[in-house]
Amino acid sequence: MAIHPIEFRYGSFEMKRVWGEEYRLEKMLMVEVALARAESELGMIPDYAADRIEQGARGVRLNRVKEIEDEIHHDMMAVVTALSEECGEAGKWVHFGATSNDILDTATALQFKETISILTPQLQKLQNLLVKRALEHKATVCAGRTHGQIGVPTTYGLRFAIWASEIERHAKRLEELTPRITVGKMSGAVGTQAAFGKNGIEVEELTMKHLEIKPAEVSNQVIQRDRHSEFIFWTANLATTLDKIGIEIRTLQRSEIGEVEENFTKKQVGSSTMPHKRNPIKSEQICGLARIIRGMIEPELLNNTLWDERDLTNSSSERIIFPETCILTDHILRTATRVLENLKFHHEKIEQNLELLRGLNMGEAVMIELAKKGVGRQKAHEIVRDSANIAREKNLHIREALLKNPTIQKHLTKEEIKQITNPHNYIGTAIQKVEKLAEKLQNHPKPIS
């Protein structure tokens, strides 16, 4: 019986596979094999044992591991026992010198390595899409808003460029933190490597070499959780950017704004009782799941505050934190990409909202022009503010109110005022900014693989 929505509603098969029981067991067995191989090369166990352990690992089955765990109530020892059963005489050398978390934490590093290899191309795909949208809409002038109120004009291209730049920073952060989280260890019960004797450092280095990851410089019985916390912080940061994008789309799809719209298929149902509804459900899903991802920060931080050389309080929470965070982050990343790929634009509404205030949003442009004419910035601000108040009170276009002011009449002609209050003439360097960012990101792409 499926209970958690991840089982049937959220997440890609690709990411769920990485955090599934079978894959987890596969990685633990991979670490056991790498350990045996390293110990064999150092003459600590017979050569035949390493070969036999590698062969035996192929025969271990999850159901057998679970049967053993039901009897002994220790998950790692259940794996060791199941592997030993498959190795015959060599079984006595399985897990030689290791403690549970040598295997568990190193297996987790391998899972994170695979997770990052899935997230990286998805980030690049979203970044590329945002750059594409930025260039497509670099001259799509729209109402800018601050405090939820219409301000001076901006462009949709600039909005997309800002998001693309943010995604690029997330990709860089992920690249930077990858070496810190994809580390394994063979440090033993308290970190001294005593069970490995004089070969402890070599065992650890060789094991990690076989697994193609780096060893932690130093650790106790566990890899310190500041590493994992950094990654969970990263997922929360990315989720918040996607949340922001989702909120913006939801806002712009409001009936009274209506500038953009999520794709709505022919047979899609918006409401069980209101047949006309077209709800931004995918963006809402992104925003909702972002809350769950952000909520993982505090418990993962607390997983670094273990007693002495370790306790077990991190184990139970991480069984939830790691898979849920990775699966949901991957899910909303893919969902955001699909939403933006199919986003519909209503240009007539964009233009309508741009003119909604009847030119009041162009007050800054008039103020700047008056200042250039010698009126002075503060005086110009006062004149335009007074004209804006008159326009509001008398329901006039700002141009009509401006033309009633003697100072403005002295410095600006009717035609000049018309040009100044045209929102399409007041987007500054928005187009250049988009083109500059697009050139940077397109000339220095990360490979999608």
Q: How far is CA 267 from CA 263, 280, 291, 306, in A?
A: 12, 15, 30, 53
Nearest one of 349, 323, 387 to 115, comparing CA atoms? 323
What span, in angstroms and rounded, lies between the C-alpha atoms of 161 and 165?
6
Q: How many CB atoms lie within 10 A of CB 92?
A: 12
Nearest one of 223, 258, 239 to 108, comparing CA atoms? 223
Q: Is 331 a catalytic residue?
A: no
Catalytic residue among 147, 272, 276, 449: 147
Catalytic residue among 74, 117, 271, 424: 271
Give, for 337, the enclosing helix (H) or strand (E). helix 313-341
- The answer to whether the CB of 135 falls within 8 A of the CB of 206 is no
List the beta bridge partners of residue 143: 153
Torsion of CA 298, 299, 300, 303, to 10 degrees: 120
94: left (phi over 0), alpha (psi -120 to 50) or beta: beta
Q: Is 170 a catalytic residue?
A: no
- For 345, phi then psi, to 5°, come to -110, 135
* Residue 312 DSSP one-character state: S
Torsion of CA 35, 41, 46, 51, to 10 degrees: 60
Give, for 285, the enclosing helix (H) or strand (E). helix 281-294
Count of H-run helices and E-run strands, the chain:
20, 6
- The answer to whether the CB of 70 falls within 8 A of the CB of 58 is no
- The answer to whether the CB of 55 falls within 8 A of the CB of 29 is no
Name the maximum alpha-carbon separation found in the chain: 103
93 three-state secondary structure? helix
Active site residues: 147, 271
